Amino acid sequence: MKKLTLLILIPILSFGQIIKEGSRQIHLDFHTSGLIENIGEKFSKEQFKKALKVGNVNSINIFGKGHHGYSYYNTKIGTRHPNLRFDLLKEQIEACHEMGVTAQVYFTVGWSQKDADDHPEWILKDKNGTTNKLEILKKLGPNDRLPNFTWRLLAPSNGYDEFILRQVEEICVNYDIDGFWFDILQAFPNYSEANKKLMIEDGIDINNDKAVLNYSINQMKSFMERCNKLIHSHKPNIPIYYNGITKITGSPYAMNNLKYNLFDYNTKQDLEDLPTTWDGYDIFPFRSKFFASDGKQIVAMSGKFHSAWGEFGGFKHRDALLYEAASMVAFGASVNIGDQLHPSGLMDMDTYKNIGYAFDYVKKIEDYGIGGKHVSRVGYYSPLNARSGEGTARMLLENQINFNVINRMDDWSKLETIIIPSATQLNQKIVNRLNSFTDRGGKLLIMGKSILKTNKDLWFDIGADYLGQPNFDIDYTVISKKLENENLVESPFLNYNAALRFKANGAEILASIKEPYFSRTPSSFSSHQNTPNKLENSEHAAIFQKNNITYVAHNLDIMYFSSGARIHRDLFKSVLDLIHTNPMVSTNLQSSGRINLLHQPEHNRYVAHLLYATPIQRGRAQVIEDLVPIYNTTVELNIEENIKKVYSVPGYKKLRVKKINGKNFVSIPEFKAHIAVVIEY
C-alpha cells in the first residue's frame, strides 16, 4: 500500500484561521430523481431570497451533487441532472451573496445512485460480498415500496475517490463558494473485489478483520486528507465538514469515529440529530460537550420535518423548532434546520415562516450562547458504549447536573469530581491521569465493570475484594443513612441486573445488597417476574467509599437507559451529591428541565441557560407540543469571581441575587421554553 501509506503518514493539514459560518443556517436537501421533469423551472432568485429573509437565515448549505448522483451545476466531469436546464448552483450562490448569506456546497460521497449503477466496483461490500441494502433491493418486486433511506453505500477509494476530487476541484475553480459539506462517510471495512485485490497487493491479510478495518479507515483518512488539501489550495480558509463521522454512540462502526478520530479532518463539527425519530432530545447536549474542547465551531442540526429527512409535506410545529433552536444556543452551538427544495425550485414559504419564528428568537440570544465555553466542576468520561454513555448522560441531564465531557479535555485542573460510567474501557494512561487527579483531592465515582483491569485485578483500590460475577439474575439495594433522601426508599429496591460481587475490606459501605432466593428459570421461579429477596444482607455490598473513590457495583447507567426506573436515577444523584458538594450552578427544575453553564471570558460573564419542554411519544415520533410557563425557578451560583450584575436574556431584565450561607441564589419568576441568566463579573 505504498501510495496510501505515504498519504496517511502526513499529519492533518493545518491552514490559516477557518472562517466561521453563520449562526442561523438552513440545510437545503435536493435529492431529486431523474424521473422528475422540469427541475428548477420555477426557481426565482427573488423568491429564494424572500424565503431566506422571512426565515432570518444567514447561512445555507445548497446542493452541488445529491444522492441520485446528479449535479446541479454545469459540470464536465459529473452528470448534470438530465431535466435541469440551467446552472442552479450558480444562481443560488449569487442570490445568497446578494443578501449577505454564506453558501456552503453539499456534495454526496457514500450514497450516489448513478455512480453505483455506472461503477458497481465502487460499492462497499461486507465480508459476505454483499450489503444489507443490496439484499433489500434483490427481494423487492417492481411495484413494491422501496424502504426509506435505501441507497447502496460507496467507498471513496479504488477510483471513486479520484472522481470525487476532480468534481470538487471543478466546483472550487468555477464557483464562489463559502464551504463544503460532504455527506455519508462511514467507517466500515470494505470487502469489495476491487478493494480485496488492492489489499492483497499491499500485503494485507483479508481474513484478518482488524487489518481490513484499519486498511479501510486509512483509505477514508487518505481521501479526507487529499480533499482538504485540494480545497484549501483553492479556497484557503473555507470550512469543510464530513458528515457521518461525528456520531459517537450507536453501532460498533460509529464507535470507530471515536477510536480513530476521523472527525479531526473536519474544520468544524456539525452534529446531526433529528430528535423526533432518530436519537431523541438528549443526544445533542452530550455530543456538544464532547466536541466543545476542540475549539472548532459547533453546528447543531435538526429538521423542519415531523419525522426525518426526505419527508415532503411534513411539518414540525414552530414551538418545537423554537425549543430546539434555543437548546442549540444554550449548549454553545450554531443552529441548522434542515429543509428540502421542491423539484420545481420553489421555496416553501410556510416552512420559512416557521423557521423564521424560531430564528427570530435565536437572534435575541445567540450572542449569549454560540461559541461559549462549557464549564463545570463535574467531569464525565464517556465510554465506548451507547447504553452506558447515554444512560449516564440522561441521569445527569434529568437531574439538572451541569457537566463537561472530558475525553478530549487537556486541562482537568478545574474539575472536582469525575464520573466513570460502567462500560468505560480504561487503560493505564487514563488511570495514571485519574490517579493524579485523586492525589490532588479530586473525587472519582466509578460504576460497574469499569473498575476491572483483568478478571481478578482492579484499576483502583476501592477498599474491597473482588469475589466475582453475580450469583443471580437480579438483586436488591438497601441504602445506608448517608444516602437517605426524600426520593429514596429505605426498603430493598430491585436492580434489573445484579451487581459484581465485592466484599468490603477497608471501605465504608454506603449501600448493601440483598440477593433473591434463586434466579428465575423454568425450574425455579416465583410469581410473574423476579424472585423476592432474602431477609439477610449478602456478604457483598452495592456501594463503597474509600478516600476519594466511590464505587457503585451495579451498572446504574445501563439499567436506567434500558428500564428508566427513577429510583436508580435518584440513587445516582444521592451518591453524587454526597461527594460533589460544590457545583458551579444548580437549579430546582424538574426532570424535563435542562441547565447548562457557559463561560464567555472575553465579555467577563457566565451564562446559565435553562430549558423546559416535555417530549411526548406520538406514534413513531417524539413531539414537543406544550411549552408551558415555569414559575419560581431558583438558580444557585457558586463561581469564584465577584458578581457585579445578573440579568435575564431575552429582555435584559435585572435579577436580584440573594446571599444565603455564602452562596448566591437567583430567583426567576417565570419563563417559557428557555431563559438565559447572564452573570457579569
571 and 617, same structural domain? no
Give the whole-angstrom CA distance, residue 116 versus residue 122.
7
Can you state the angle between helices 252-260 and 209-234, rounded to 10 degrees?
A: 60
User: How far is C-alpha 1 from the geometric centre of its chain's CA atoms?
Assistant: 34
154 and 29, same structural domain? yes
Residue 533 φ/ψ, nearest 5 degrees: -85, 150
**Nearest to 366, CA basis, from 402, 310, 325:** 325
The CATH number of whichever domain residue 639 belongs to comes to 2.60.40.1180
557 and 480, same structural domain? yes
Question: Strands, DSSP E only, in 317-369?
Answer: 334-340
512 and 657, same structural domain? no
Sign of CA dihedral 517, 518, 523, 527: positive
The CATH number of whichever domain residue 497 belongs to comes to 3.40.50.880
Q: What is the pLDDT of residues 369-396, one digit of tens each?
A: 999 999 999 999 999 788 999 999 999 9
**Is there a domain that residue 597 lies in?**
yes
Give the whole-angstrom CA distance, residue 189 versus residue 215.
8
Give the whole-angstrom CA distance, residue 512 versus residue 540.
7
For 27, the 3-state DSSP assignment is strand
180 and 36, same structural domain? yes
**Nearest to 381, CA basis, from 339, 337, 423:** 423
pLDDT at 5: 40
**Is there a domain that residue 12 lies in?**
yes
**Is there a domain that residue 271 lies in?**
no
Give the whole-angstrom CA distance, residue 305 versus residue 312.
8
Give the whole-angstrom CA distance, residue 414 versus residue 574.
22
Give the whole-angstrom CA distance, residue 340 versus residue 162.
29
175 and 258, same structural domain? yes
Strands, sheet with 404-405, edge to edge from the N-terminal-most edge strand: 404-405, 378-380, 417-420, 443-447, 549-552, 541-546, 508-514, 475-479, 493-495
Cα–Cα separations (whole angstroms), residue 545 to 444, 445, 462, 469: 10, 9, 7, 20
Q: Which of 556, 579, 602 is the last residue of a domain?
A: 579
Q: Which of 242, 266, 290 is the last residue of a domain?
A: 266
User: How far is C-alpha 340 from the geometric centre of its chain's CA atoms?
Assistant: 23
Per DSSP bridges, beta strands 593-600 and 373-374 are antiparallel
Residue 13 is given by DSSP the state: P
Into how many domains does the chain fold?
3
Give the whole-angstrom CA distance, residue 206 versus residue 112.
27
**Is there a domain that residue 485 lies in?**
yes
Give the whole-angstrom CA distance, residue 301 versus residue 269.
10
State the burial class of residue 163 (Cβ atoms within 10 Å of its Cβ: 0-12, 13-18, 19+).
middle
**Nearest to 611, CA basis, from 365, 260, 242:** 365
**Is there a domain that residue 352 lies in?**
no
The 10 Å Cβ neighbour count of residue 631 is 9
- 64, 106 in Cβ contact below 8 A? yes
Sign of CA dihedral 384, 388, 391, 394: negative
522 and 439, same structural domain? yes
648 and 538, same structural domain? no
- Hey, what's the cell of 163? 472522481
Full DSSP string of 213-271: HHHHHHHHHHHHHHHHHHHHHHSTT--EEETTSS--SSSHHHHHHHHHTGGGG-SEEEE
pLDDT at 526: 97
Q: Which of 555, 579, 603 is the last residue of a domain?
A: 579
Strands, sheet with 663-672, edge to edge from the N-terminal-most edge strand: 585-587, 629-637, 663-672, 657-660
pLDDT at 16: 64
Bond prior to 650 in cis (omega within 30° of 0): yes
Regions in the chain scoring below 50 on pLDDT: 1-13
Amino acid occupying residue 528: H
**Is there a domain that residue 110 lies in?**
yes
669 and 599, same structural domain? yes
Q: Which domain holds residue 145?
A: 2-266
The CATH number of whichever domain residue 133 belongs to comes to 3.20.20
Q: Which residue has the cell 439538572?
A: 400
Amino acid occupying residue 81: H
**Is there a domain that residue 295 lies in?**
no
650 and 548, same structural domain? no
**Is there a domain that residue 130 lies in?**
yes
Q: What angle do CA 133, 138, 139 make, to 5 degrees?
A: 100
User: Residue 431 is inside which H or E element, if any?
Assistant: helix 428-439
670 and 570, same structural domain? no
221 and 170, same structural domain? yes
pLDDT at 4: 46
Full DSSP string of 572-594: HHHHHHHH----SEEE---TTEE
pLDDT at 596: 98
- Residue 120's region, left for phi above 0, alpha for psi from -120 to 50, else beta, is alpha
Count the helix, strand and coil residues of the chain and give each as a percent rounded to the nearest 5.
30, 25, 45
Cα–Cα separations (whole angstroms), residue 503 to 466, 541, 677: 7, 6, 47
Q: What angle do CA 597, 390, 675 make, to 5 degrees?
A: 30
